[in-house]
Amino acid sequence: MKSRIRSIVLFFIFSYCSCKKVIQVNLNDAAPQIVIFGEVTDLPGPYQVSITKTVNFSATNDFPPVSGAQVTITDDKGLIDSLSETAPGIYNTHTFWQGVPGNTYTLSVLTSGKTYTAISEMPQAVPLDSISFQENQNFSRKNTISVVPYFQDPPGIVNYYQFAEFVNDTPLNKTYIMNDRLSDGKYFNLPLYDDSVHIYAGDLVTLYMYSINADVYNYLNEMQQISNSAQSLTPANPDTNLSNGALGIFTVHTVVSKQRIYD
Amino acid sequence: MRPLSAFGLILLLTGWLPLFSQTKYSISGTVIDKTSGESLIGATVILIEQPRSGVSSNAYGFYSVSAPAGSYNMVVSFTGYLSDTVKIVLNRNLLLPVALNTDHTELTEVVVSAQKKDDNVTKPLMGVQKLSMNEIRNIPVLFGEKDILKTIQLLPGIKSAGDGNSGFYVRGGTTDQNLILLDEATVYNASHLLGFFSTFNSDAIKDVTVYKGGMPAEYGGRLSSVVDVKMNDGNNRNYLVSGGIGLIASRLNVEGPIVKDEGSFIVSARRTYADLFLKLSRDTSINRNKLYFYDLNAKANYKIDKNNRIYLSGYFGRDVLGFSNLFGIQWGNSTATARWNHVFNSRLFSNTSFIYSNYNYLINVNLTSNNINITSKIEDFSLKEDLQYYANSENKINFGFNIIHHTISPGIADASPGSSFNSFSLQKKYSLESAAYISHEWSPLAKLHIDYGLRLTDFSVFGPGNFYSYDQNGNTINTSTYSSGQIVKTYFNPEPRLSASYLLNSLSSLKISYTRNIQNLHLLSNSNSSNPTDLWIPSSNNVKPEIADQESIGYYRNFNDNKYEFSSEVYYKTMQNQIDYKNGAQLAANENVESQLLFGIGRAYGWELFFKKKYGKLTGWVGYTLSRTELKIDGINNGNWYPARQDITHDISVVGIYQASKKWTISATWVYSTGNAVTFPNGKYDVNGQILFYYTQRNAYRMPPYHRLDLGATLVTRKTKKTERSWTFSIYNAYDRDNPYFIQFQQDPNDASRTQAVQYSLFKIIPSVTYNFKF
Euclidean distance between CA atoms B699 and B677, whole angstroms: 5
Q: Do A52 and B686 touch (CB under 8 A)?
A: yes
pLDDT in tens, B521-549: 999 886 666 678 888 999 999 999 999 99
CA A120 centroid distance within chain: 16
Return per-residue pLDDT of chain A as tens, 263 residues: 222 222 222 222 223 345 788 998 889 988 999 999 999 999 998 999 999 999 999 999 999 999 999 999 999 999 999 999 999 999 999 989 999 999 999 999 999 999 999 999 999 999 999 999 988 765 555 677 889 999 999 999 999 999 999 999 898 888 899 999 889 999 998 888 876 778 888 999 999 999 999 999 999 998 888 876 655 667 889 999 999 999 999 999 999 999 999 98
DSSP-derived secondary structure letter, B675: P
Q: Give the pLDDT score at A9.
A: 24
Work out the angle at residue A97's Cα, subtended by the Cα atoms of residues A95 and A101, and round it to the nearest 5 degrees.
135
DSSP-derived secondary structure letter, B674: P
Omega of the bond leading into A171 within 30 degrees of 0 (cis): no
Work out the angle at residue B297's Cα, subtended by the Cα atoms of residues B354 and B244, and round it to the nearest 5 degrees.
165
Q: Do B584 and A218 touch (CB under 8 A)?
A: yes
Q: Give the pLDDT score at B110.
A: 35
Using a pLDDT cut of 90, give the percent of chain B over it: 50
User: Are residues B217 and B497 in contact, defined by beta-carbon separation less than 8 angstroms?
Assistant: yes
H-run or E-run covering B510: strand B508-519
All residues of chain B having their beta carbon less than 8 Å from the beta carbon of residue A4 are: 775
Q: Other CB atoms closer than 10 Å to residue B348's CB: what's the count?
A: 18
Query: Is it the case that residue B514 has pLDDT exceeding 90?
Result: yes
Q: Do A23 and B759 touch (CB under 8 A)?
A: yes
DSSP-derived secondary structure letter, B360: E
DSSP string, B374-432: EEEEEEEEEEEEEEEEEEETTEEEEEEEEEEEEEEEEEEEEE-TTSSS--EEPPPEEEE
Instruction: Between B22 and B654, name the one with better pLDDT.
Output: B654
Band (B473; pLDDT cuts 50, 70, 90): confident
Smallest CA-to-CA distance from A252 within A152, A127, A151, A162 is with A162
SS3 B5: helix
Closest A-chain CA to B416: A186
Euclidean distance between CA atoms B505 and B499, whole angstroms: 19
Q: Do B695 and A236 touch (CB under 8 A)?
A: yes
User: Would you kindly state where each structural domain of chain B is located, as residue ranges?
Assistant: 3-115, 128-230, 231-774
H-run or E-run covering B138: helix B133-138
Chain B residues 96-155 with a CB less than 8 Å from chain A: none
Euclidean distance between CA atoms B402 and B414, whole angstroms: 36
Smallest CA-to-CA distance from B687 within A109, A229, A27, A53 is with A53
Smallest CA-to-CA distance from B194 within B767, B765, B705, B762 is with B762
DSSP string, B174-222: -GGGEEEEETTEE-S--EEGGGTEES--GGGEEEEEEESSS--TT--S-
**Neighbouring residues of B661: CB distance < 8 A, sequence distance ≥ 6:** none
Closest A-chain CA to B737: A19
H-run or E-run covering B669: strand B664-673
- Residue B461 pairs in a beta bridge with B431, B489
User: Are residues B580 and B600 in contact, defined by beta-carbon separation less than 8 angstroms?
Assistant: yes
Amino acid of residue A106: T
Q: Give the pLDDT score at B527.
A: 67
pLDDT in tens, B104-115: 333 333 333 334
Q: Give the pLDDT score at B601.
A: 97
Q: What is the mean pLDDT of residues B282-288?
A: 60
Euclidean distance between CA atoms B660 and B230, whole angstroms: 31
User: Are residues B645 and A233 in contact, defined by beta-carbon separation less than 8 angstroms?
Assistant: yes
Q: Give the pLDDT score at B213.
A: 87
Buried b (16+ CB within 10 A) or exposed e, B551-581: bbebebbbeeebebbbbbbebebebbbbbbb
Q: Do A189 and B369 touch (CB under 8 A)?
A: yes
- Touching check for B767 and chain A: CB below 8 Å? yes
Q: Other CB atoms closer than 10 Å to residue B670's CB: what's the count?
A: 18
Smallest Cβ–Cβ distance between B681 and the set A8, A27, A39 belongs to A27
Do B3-115 and B231-774 have matching folds?
Answer: no
DSSP string, B518-561: EE-EEEE--BSS--TT-EEEE--SSSPPEEEEEEEEEEEEEETT
B238 in the Ramachandran plot: left (φ > 0), alpha (ψ -120 to 50) or beta? Answer: beta
User: Are residues B499 and B126 in contact, defined by beta-carbon separation less than 8 angstroms?
Assistant: yes
Instruction: Between A3 and B323, name the one with better pLDDT.
Output: B323
Smallest Cβ–Cβ distance between A229 and the set B526, B743, B753 belongs to B743
Q: Do B762 and A5 touch (CB under 8 A)?
A: no
Q: What is the mean pLDDT of residues B708-726?
A: 88
Which has the minimum average pLDDT: A29-43, B167-181, B347-361, B748-762? Answer: B748-762
Domains and CATH numbers, chain A: 34-121 (2.60.40), 130-239+254-261 (2.60.40)
Q: Is B284 exposed, middle or buried (0-12, 13-18, 19+ CB in 10 A)?
A: exposed
Q: What is the mean pLDDT of residues B177-189?
A: 94
CATH 2.170.130.10, applies to B128-230: yes
Euclidean distance between CA atoms B642 and B677, whole angstroms: 9
Euclidean distance between CA atoms B421 and B370, whole angstroms: 8
Euclidean distance between CA atoms A207 and B421, whole angstroms: 22
DSSP string, B590-608: -TTGGGGEEEEEEEEEEEE
SS3 B659: strand
Helices (H) and strands (E) in chain A, counts: 1, 17
All residues of chain B having their beta carbon less than 8 Å from the beta carbon of residue A236 are: 583, 679, 695, 698
User: Are residues B399 and B414 in contact, defined by beta-carbon separation less than 8 angstroms?
Assistant: no
Q: What is the mean pLDDT of residues B406-414?
A: 93
Chain B residues 571-610 with a CB less than 8 Å from chain A: 583-584, 586, 589
DSSP-derived secondary structure letter, B326: T
Q: Give the pLDDT score at B279.
A: 64
DSSP string, B79-91: TTS-EEEEEEEES
The shortest C-alpha distance from B39 to chain A (Å) reads 25
Q: Is B455 exposed, middle or buried (0-12, 13-18, 19+ CB in 10 A)?
A: buried
Q: Please state which CATH class domain B231-774 belongs to.
A: mainly beta
Which pairing describes strands B240-246 and B249-259: parallel, antiparallel, or unpaired? antiparallel
The shortest C-alpha distance from B644 to chain A (Å) reads 10
Query: Is it the case that residue B165 has pLDDT exceeding 90?
Result: no
Band (B82; pLDDT cuts 50, 70, 90): confident
Q: Give the pLDDT score at B117.
A: 59
Euclidean distance between CA atoms B635 and B614, whole angstroms: 49
Q: Give the pLDDT score at A14.
A: 29
Smallest CA-to-CA distance from B772 within B245, B253, B140, B252 is with B245
DSSP string, B32-45: EETTT--B-TT-EE
The shortest C-alpha distance from B329 to chain A (Å) reads 16
**Neighbouring residues of A25: CB distance < 8 A, sequence distance ≥ 6:** B680, B701, B743, B757
Which has the minimum average pLDDT: B7-11, B26-30, B215-219, B409-413? Answer: B7-11
Euclidean distance between CA atoms B561 and B116, whole angstroms: 11
pLDDT in tens, B202-247: 888 988 999 998 899 999 999 999 999 999 999 998 899 999 888 8
Q: Give the pLDDT score at B282.
A: 59
CB-hemisphere CA count at 13 Å for B666? 4
User: Are residues A69 and A91 in contact, defined by beta-carbon separation less than 8 angstroms?
Assistant: yes
Which pairing describes strands B327-345 and B766-774: parallel, antiparallel, or unpaired? unpaired
Question: Which CA distances in Å does A248 have to A39, A229, B688, B692?
Answer: 11, 20, 9, 9
Q: In what order do the strands lie in the sheet with B740-747?
A: A19-23, B755-761, B740-747
All residues of chain A having their beta carbon less than 8 Å from the beta carbon of residue B684 are: 54-57, 59, 61
Euclidean distance between CA atoms A131 and A150, whole angstroms: 6
All residues of chain A having their beta carbon less than 8 Å from the beta carbon of residue B760 are: 18-20, 230
The shortest C-alpha distance from B240 to chain A (Å) reads 8
CATH 2.60.40.1120, applies to B3-115: yes
Q: Do B286 and A141 touch (CB under 8 A)?
A: yes
